[in-house]
A and B are shown apart, each in its own frame.
Chain A
Amino acid sequence: MNSVEVEHLEVHRGGRRVLTDLSIRIAEGTVTGLLGPSGSGKTTLIRAIVGVQRIFGGSVRVLGLPAGSAALRPSIGYLTQAPSVYRDLTVRENLQYFAAVLGVDGARVDRVLTEVALDAEAGARVDRLSGGQQSRVSLATALLGNPRVLVLDEPTVGLDPVLREELWSLFHRLGATGVTLLISSHVMEEATRCQRLLLLRDGSLVADATPDELLRRTGQSDMDAAFLQLVRHTGPAA
């Protein structure tokens, strides 16, 4: 069963075509990496799946419903690249507010704080935290509502290797419980932790494969080299 189905998606932003005839499927309970150079359309694709992006053509369906449907709102967790939380509130106040909006209880707030390793910072104002801590507050908010689909735009930027490791094991634990995760990243080394990889270039899909397939196809031994080769040499969508 597919959680996300994108068919012939076309998106224009500021008079420029950002995504062209893009079709992808993401299976339920998988961890999928979304890779591509900056400006390749990763964030736009993510926004289209969450349902906040006006689209020009094609269709995006999530859990069988058109993206952006009101019925989907409780089921999708969305992490934007810049932390979208209230900087003048404490970590706990932020989460308590979003919990009230989502209708989840206080125990859930404590739970997500532990999951993103922010228990100790719960009482601190967000604008006093480091960049990595701020983005984890934002991630905690995305996790609050027990979403079935979790769309994360660069969740591990600015994190040290230990935290990155912890978050990736959290993502896999969630995947194992049936949550579908789409995670964009710039760090190619992280790509190997995904079950499937989508590689975008100039708004088109240049690869949809497992990490092993990608290495085999390019004949490279590491992800960075495979990525460079695909981005530089491949023709239109394979």
Chain B
Amino acid sequence: MSVRRTAATGWRVLTQLRRDPRTVAMILVVPPVLMLLLRCAFDSNVLLFDHFAPILIAIFPFVLMFVITSVAMLRERTSGTLERLLAMPMAKLDLLLGYAVAFGAVAILQVALVVAFVLGPLDVPIAGSVVALSVFAVLDALLGMALGLCLSALARTEFQAVQLLPAVVFPQLLVCGLFAPRDAMAAALQGLADVLPLTYAVDGVTRAAATSAWGGGLIEDLVIVALCIPLALGLGALTLQRRTS
């Protein structure tokens, strides 16, 4: 591993993003716009919106980062640049961490914007800690990024990469407690929810939004989500083959 290579990769990925202003605009503008949309949809039931808003602060960055990274990594695979980099003195982690640094920086910006929008113009009351909520949201974005890096190995084309969203992300959204409380779900689904990382991400933001105390449950959620990121990056490293058939 080398700081020079990781930094160079992060800078390169950011430069590529800068060349694609539409993607940057989508990353930054889409979450606040979706929040506004939802606020209007719940116009006569603002209390319900106030309940969902903090959860969505965590979910939107997760989904967006997942899609963007899985496509970016797939591009790296299909353009031959991945093979070139792996034929150079480059550690796989240099590459993955380079992506993590670049997209992590973007995620912080994205979360800052959506949090500011929800607290300001949309005036959602947050009883808990805004800092804890933001930390969770950034971790969720990084988790989405790490899963995207890792699972992009399953896709051969950009069509397939986009299909990973309904295949991998939707099931997690359905059982994570967003739509129905987890203890009201079938036992098998509860078991599934217990092993999916997004469950802890949603649980964490809900707690963070509700109380400013760094209680046991919150720390546990934080640790689990934080550990899933290097785990997914490690699995991602395994999918980078220097030798292919």
Residue numbers of A with Cβ under 8 A of B are: 12-14, 50-54, 68, 70, 73-74, 76, 78, 80, 82-89, 93, 97-98, 100-103, 125, 141, 145
Alpha-carbon distance between A141 and B80 when the two chains are bound, in angstroms: 13
**Contact (Cβ within 8 A) A73 B8:** no
Q: Does B157 contact A (CB under 8 A)?
A: no
Alpha-carbon distance between A76 and B242 when the two chains are bound, in angstroms: 14
Query: Separation in Å of the B65 CB from the closest CB of chain A?
Result: 19
Question: Interface centre among B84, B90, B244, by most A CB within 10 Å?
Answer: B84
Q: Given A68-B242, A88-B16, A89-B15, A73 and B88 touching (CB < 8 A)?
A: yes
CB neighbours (8 Å) of A12 from chain B are 245
Contact among B16, B84, B86, B89 for A89, CB-based, below 8 A: B16
| Chain B, residue nearest A12 (CB) | B245
Alpha-carbon distance between A52 and B88 when the two chains are bound, in angstroms: 11
**Contact (Cβ within 8 A) A102 B15:** no
Q: Does B29 contact A (CB under 8 A)?
A: no
**Contact (Cβ within 8 A) B8 A52:** no
**Contact (Cβ within 8 A) B243 A84:** no
**Contact (Cβ within 8 A) B89 A102:** yes
Alpha-carbon distance between A64 and B176 when the two chains are bound, in angstroms: 55
Q: Does B4 contact A (CB under 8 A)?
A: yes
| Chain A, residue nearest B91 (CB) | A70
Residue numbers of B with Cβ under 8 A of A are: 4-5, 7-9, 11-12, 15-16, 19-20, 79-81, 83-90, 94, 242-245
Contact among A14, A74, A84 for B83, CB-based, below 8 A: A84
17 examples of A-B residue contacts, CB within 8 angstroms: A13-B245, A51-B243, A52-B242, A54-B243, A70-B89, A73-B88, A74-B88, A80-B83, A84-B79, A84-B81, A86-B12, A87-B79, A98-B88, A101-B8, A101-B9, A101-B89, A102-B88
**Contact (Cβ within 8 A) B245 A54:** yes
CB neighbours (8 Å) of A68 from chain B are 242-243
**Contact (Cβ within 8 A) A101 B90:** yes
CB neighbours (8 Å) of B4 from chain A are 100, 103
Contact among A54, A73, A74, A103 for B244, CB-based, below 8 A: A54
CB neighbours (8 Å) of A74 from chain B are 88-89
**Contact (Cβ within 8 A) A76 B87:** yes
CB neighbours (8 Å) of B15 from chain A are 89, 93
4 nearest interchain CB pairs?
A84-B80, A100-B8, A54-B245, A73-B89
Give 5 new A-B contacts, CB below 8 A, not counting A52-B86, A87-B79: A12-B245, A53-B245, A73-B90, A84-B84, A97-B12
CB neighbours (8 Å) of A83 from chain B are 80
Alpha-carbon distance between A31 and B4 when the two chains are bound, in angstroms: 34
| Chain A, residue nearest B82 (CB) | A84
Alpha-carbon distance between A106 and B80 when the two chains are bound, in angstroms: 24
**Contact (Cβ within 8 A) A53 B243:** yes
**Contact (Cβ within 8 A) A73 B245:** no
**Contact (Cβ within 8 A) A88 B19:** yes
**Contact (Cβ within 8 A) B8 A97:** yes
Contact among B81, B87, B245 for A86, CB-based, below 8 A: B81
| Chain B, residue nearest A74 (CB) | B89
CB neighbours (8 Å) of B9 from chain A are 97, 101
| Chain A, residue nearest B17 (CB) | A88
CB neighbours (8 Å) of A93 from chain B are 12, 15
Q: Given A82-B80, A101-B5, A101-B8, A51 and B16 touching (CB < 8 A)?
A: no
CB neighbours (8 Å) of A89 from chain B are 12, 15-16, 19
Alpha-carbon distance between A100 and B79 when the two chains are bound, in angstroms: 20
Q: Given A86-B79, A89-B16, A89-B19, A53 and B8 touching (CB < 8 A)?
A: no
| Chain B, residue nearest A78 (CB) | B87
Alpha-carbon distance between A100 and B89 when the two chains are bound, in angstroms: 11
Alpha-carbon distance between A82 and B82 when the two chains are bound, in angstroms: 13
**Contact (Cβ within 8 A) A101 B85:** yes
Query: Separation in Å of the A151 CB from the closest CB of chain B?
Result: 10
Alpha-carbon distance between A54 and B241 when the two chains are bound, in angstroms: 10
CB neighbours (8 Å) of B79 from chain A are 84-87
| Chain B, residue nearest A79 (CB) | B84
Q: Given A86-B12, A86-B81, A52 and B244 touching (CB < 8 A)?
A: yes
Query: Separation in Å of the B193 CB from the closest CB of chain A?
Result: 39
CB neighbours (8 Å) of B244 from chain A are 52-54
Q: Given A101-B8, A103-B4, A78 and B243 touching (CB < 8 A)?
A: no
Alpha-carbon distance between A97 and B4 when the two chains are bound, in angstroms: 10
Query: Separation in Å of the A113 CB from the closest CB of chain B?
Result: 18
